[in-house]
Amino acid sequence: MTCKVIELYSSEELHKMEQTNRHWIIGLSMFSAAALAVCISFALRTRTLNAMQMELSAVAVSTVAGWIVLYFALFRVRTGRREIQHAVMLQDEVRDRYEGTVSLQKEQFLIRKSVPVQRVEVQDENGEIVRLLICSNKSNTLAQAHPTAVYVTHGYVAAYEVAQ
């Protein structure tokens, strides 16, 4: 029986993640610049009679645009960067191999300044259990693959083996 090793993060996928994150950063920067330009236009159009309205408009646009940028910067860009850092870490060639029954626990938890993770248990033929971690956004991939072995680096599942 032959086995096939499948990487959780291929180099193409990593490149795509980096590109997507870069596009988000560029998009958010352009959006911020546009919001700032709108606020500056309010300031330039200020006259005696409309000063209060222009100031309130500038505050409203600045506040709402800032919230939008903050939301996506915190929950998309920063999360994306952490996933990229995680994926780069998993590219490490020094890996351990564990063969056996692979089971995934559903509970998700967040490691500070890292990605959401789930626990993976590998029970070998002797009944010994090894406890590992996997990035949550790859957990479904692992669960659906029914792997026969996993490759681990820094305590995280980096690749898995399936029977062909």
Is 109 among the residues that bind another protein (CB under 8 A)? Answer: no
Closest CB 21 distance from another protein, rounded Å: 18
Tokens 């959780």 sit at which residue?
A: 8
For β-strands 129-135 and 149-153, DSSP reports them as unpaired
The tokens for 9 are 């993060």
Q: Do 70 and 84 meet the contact criterion of CB atoms below 8 Å apart?
A: no
Could you tell me where the beta strands, DSSP code E, fall in 1-113?
3-7, 96-99, 101-110
Over 86-100, what HEC string results? HHHHHCCCCCEEEEC
Closest CB 124 distance from another protein, rounded Å: 37
Return the closest-CA partner of residue 131 out of 160, 98, 84, 108.
Answer: 98
Q: What residues from 5 to 44 belong to the interface with another protein (CB under 8 A)? A: 39, 43
Determine the interface stretch with another protein among 4-12, 60-68, 86-94, 124-132 (rule: CB under 8 A). Answer: 60-68
Determine the interface stretch with another protein among 18-26, 49-57, 93-101, 115-123 (rule: CB under 8 A). Answer: 49-57
Is 46 among the residues that bind another protein (CB under 8 A)? Answer: yes
Residue choice 19, 33, 34, 66 for contact with another protein (CB under 8 A): 66
Give the footprint of another protein on this chain (CB under 8 A).
Answer: 39, 43, 46-49, 51-52, 54-55, 58-59, 62-63, 66-67, 70-71, 74-75
